[in-house]
């Protein structure tokens, strides 16, 4: 377990006081880890249990919008009901003044984005092993009526053993509802959004599975299939262009895995895998054929630089 008992740093006094007041001194805030499009992210320690946690605080400008605050709370409550080995649990949530926050476990293995920044690519078996867990977690969420809508490397975390945890269900869903339904604009991360997201249409779980295909593509080749000078250019390509299959770009990519990726990336949602378990089953069959069926063994831990306990 990482040590997080260092004194608070990198946080303005006023912001720190507000956060401490909002959490009722239940947590010792250590430092800000970063910021995303929806929230600031802090490393903290539970004041009684001593375990490390991550606290995500909704950006003040968003927290000042009554509709966004209400959607954030509702979606966070829905996400908190998701209890699955491959979904990051929401441990706590609360509000005080302009502060809206979520608390969740700290994952020592970092994110898939961290892994790809170090390694650029991973082996076919490692990519499939990670994707099996992502698809399994998504299948559970979809069966419980929750669509993520922002699956990307930053939202795929690893624990000490290299097991996957999907994060930001509540935040991503609140952003989608609060913005898309109000304005008709596409919401999501451009490189990882589905064609239907890029067109500002309503989505279902198959949009998340398209994003899993994008993750696989990037893990295998070192880059997402589409890029452009701005979000509109990238979105246009998601809607109108078909990428080269991974095994056409790099012949070392197994054809069977490449076919799975391309099925995920079909422009028509009806032609993709219909459910997360179908994608997971296809990936398990690929791993089994290649001798890599045990997708929770040390392979992912080695890839993330961790040692299995």
Residue 160 CB burial class (10 angstroms; 0-12, 13-18, ≥19):
middle
The answer to the question of whether 56 is labelled as a binding residue is yes
Catalytic residues: 150
- By three-state DSSP, how is residue 285 classified? helix
What does the alpha-carbon distance between residue 168 and residue 152 come to, in Å, rounded to a whole number?
A: 10
Name the strand (E) or helix (H) holding 99: strand 99-105
Compute the distance between CA of residue 224 and CA of residue 221 in angstroms, rounded to an integer: 8
| Whole-angstrom distance, CA of residue 216 vs CA of residue 223 | 10
* Helix (H) / strand (E) containing 62: helix 60-63
Contacts of 65 (CB under 8 A, 6+ apart): 178
Helix, strand, or coil (residue 46)? strand
- Look at residues 70, 153, 163, 82 and name the one whose alpha carbon lies nearest to residue 116: 153
DSSP 196-240: HHHTT----HHHHHHHHHHHHHHHHHSS-S---SSHHHHHHHHHH
- Compute the C-alpha angle 131/233/221, nearest 5°: 35
Q: Which residues are annotated as a binding site for ATP?
A: 56
Q: Which residues are annotated as a binding site?
A: 56
């Amino acid at each position: 377990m990482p040590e997080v008992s260092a004194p608070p740093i990198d946080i303005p006094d006023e912001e720190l006081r507000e956060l401490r007041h909002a959490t009722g001194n239940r947590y010792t805030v250590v430092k800000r880890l970063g910021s995303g499009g929806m929230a600031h992210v802090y490393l903290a320690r539970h004041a009684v249990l001593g375990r490390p946690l991550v606290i995500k605080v909704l950006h003040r400008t968003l927290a000042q919008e009554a509709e966004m605050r209400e959607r954030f709370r509702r979606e966070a409550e829905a996400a908190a009901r998701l209890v699955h080995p491959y979904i990051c649990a929401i441990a706590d949530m609360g509000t005080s003044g302009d502060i809206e926050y979520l608390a969740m476990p700290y994952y020592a293995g970092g994110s898939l984005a961290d892994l790809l920044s170090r390694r650029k690519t991973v082996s076919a078996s490692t990519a499939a092993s990670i994707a099996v867990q992502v698809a399994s977690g998504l299948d559970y969420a979809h069966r419980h009526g929750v669509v993520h809508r922002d699956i990307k490397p930053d939202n795929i975390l690893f624990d000490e053993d290299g097991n996957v945890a999907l994060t930001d269900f509540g935040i991503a869903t609140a952003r989608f509802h609060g913005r898309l339904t109000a304005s008709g604009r596409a919401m999501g991360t451009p490189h990882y959004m589905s064609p239907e997201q890029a067109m500002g249409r309503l989505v279902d779980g198959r949009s998340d599975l398209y994003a899993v295909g994008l993750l696989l593509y990037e893990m295998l080749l070192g880059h997402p299939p589409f890029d452009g000078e701005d979000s509109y250019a990238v979105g246009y390509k998601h809607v109108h262009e078909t990428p080269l299959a991974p095994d056409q770009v790099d012949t070392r990519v197994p054809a069977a895995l490449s076919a799975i990726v391309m099925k995920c990336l079909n422009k028509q949602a009806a032609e993709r895998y219909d459910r997360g378990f179908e994608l997971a089953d296809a990936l398990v069959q690929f791993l089994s054929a290649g001798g890599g069926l045990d997708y929770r063994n040390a392979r992912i831990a080695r890839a993330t630089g961790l040692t299995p306990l």
